[in-house]
Amino acid sequence: MSIVDLGAAASWKLKGQGNANAVFEYIGTDADKAGQVLRVRKQKLLLDTHSDTPTELQLLEREIWGSLINDWSSEAIVQQQYEDRVLKPLLGSDFIYQDRHIQLTPEYAAALSQLHQLQLARQAWLEHDHTVFPGPVHATPGNEGTRVCTICVELKPKCGFLPTSACIHPKHAIKREIPRFQLHQHLKCAQGKVQRHSAYNPLDLFSGDVARMQRALRALLRDPQNNLRLFVDGVQAAPGRLEHQLAEISAPQGGIEPFLEHLAITLQHAGILELVLAAQKLDAHDVEDFSKWTERLPMVHCGTI
């Protein structure tokens, strides 16, 4: 971990945020920082994994992960061990991006927080901006003068298989027939969180069949919710305009369908969905079984579970 010169806080523009992190893109003039993003942990969700007096839940977590993670001295070290010993064996090194853990000065964290009305911690990571290509895109013969743009698609594919656990209660047997995502869509509609059901079926995306994968991607594009994001030249497209903007960009190449077919073929050839599905299937218990264990947690202590 190190403290690096990031330039003026105003050189970093908020690109996106989630519950745990805020991501900033560099908009300054330093060529060495171009194409990088700064991911900063939010203060309220910073996990004190290296506390001298860990909570009972943290002690339990350390016992569960003890065979793989043996150094809990800092969040960055824990994350690195998790990437090296859990994610890379499951998904392969090619699909785990490299980042650089840094420490913001208290003044810099405060300046970023004030500029963007956020509560940011000092824990941060410098990463390559995966929504743009790292360098110039060269024109190919015959398309000189044609505008070339970078399109990045971010997917949250959800669970790609139907559970078969013996722990599923008979009254919940429908879980064996309909994907959890689609069942959850009915709940979200009933709660008013979404206006209509998404037609997306994760089983299609994970099927390995290009036509079914294309159908799944089309459904995600039509109703992205928080499961698909589209970036054009590094700029996120507005959720309500995804289909329209992609249609404009892909018109010279035949429209949206050829693009979705190409995306499906790319995912198929990359093999990443097969690896994700294999990792998902390591869960042989289903959430119902884990729920029973969770209910017992207040009554057990580390070393006895």
Look at the pTM and tell me if it is higher than 0.85. Answer: no
Q: Where are the beta strands (DSSP E) in the chain?
A: 12-17, 21-26, 36-42, 99-103, 120-128, 151-155, 228-232, 235-236
CB 150, CB 137: distance < 8 Å:
yes
Q: In 10 A of CB 185, how many CB atoms?
A: 20
* 235-236 sheet: strands from edge to edge: 151-155, 228-232, 235-236
Structure tokens, 62: 């350390």
Report pLDDT for 303.
47
Each of the 305 residues of the chain gets a pLDDT tens digit; together they read 567 889 999 999 999 898 899 999 999 999 989 999 999 999 865 555 455 577 787 888 898 899 999 999 888 889 889 999 999 999 999 998 888 889 999 999 999 999 999 999 999 999 999 898 765 554 455 555 555 788 999 999 999 999 988 888 899 999 999 999 999 999 999 999 999 999 999 999 999 999 999 999 999 999 999 999 999 988 899 888 888 888 888 877 788 999 999 999 999 999 999 999 999 999 888 888 777 777 776 554 444 44
Residues comprising the chain, all counted: 305
Please state, in angstroms and rounded to a whole number, the distance separating the CA atoms of residues 144 and 197.
43
Q: How many helices (H) and strands (E) does the chain have?
A: 11, 8
222-281, pLDDT tens digit by residue? 999 999 999 998 889 988 888 888 888 887 778 899 999 999 999 999 999 999 999 999
Angstrom distance (rounded) from CA 297 to CA 301:
8
Q: Which of 304, 20, 286 is nearest to 166 (CA)?
A: 286
For 117-195, where are the alpha helices, taking DSSP H only?
180-190
List the one residue out of 77, 70, 17 whose CA is nearest residue 47. Answer: 77
Instruction: Using only the alpha carbons of the chain, give its radius of gyration.
Output: 22
| Coil/strand/helix, residue 268 | helix
Q: How far apart are CA 63 and CA 264, in angstroms?
A: 41
- Please state, in angstroms and rounded to a whole number, the distance separating the CA atoms of residues 15 and 22: 8
Percentage, residues of the chain above pLDDT 90: 57
Q: Where are the domains of the chain?
A: 9-128, 151-289
What the block records as the tokens of 279 is: 């990792």
Strand partners, 287: none
For residue 232, list its beta bridge partners.
151, 235
For 9-128, CATH number out of 3.30.200.110, 3.40.50.1110, 3.30.70.100, 2.20.25.10 equals 3.30.200.110
pLDDT tens-digit series, residues 206-227? 999 999 999 999 999 999 999 9
Beta carbons within 10 angstroms of residue 127's beta carbon? 15
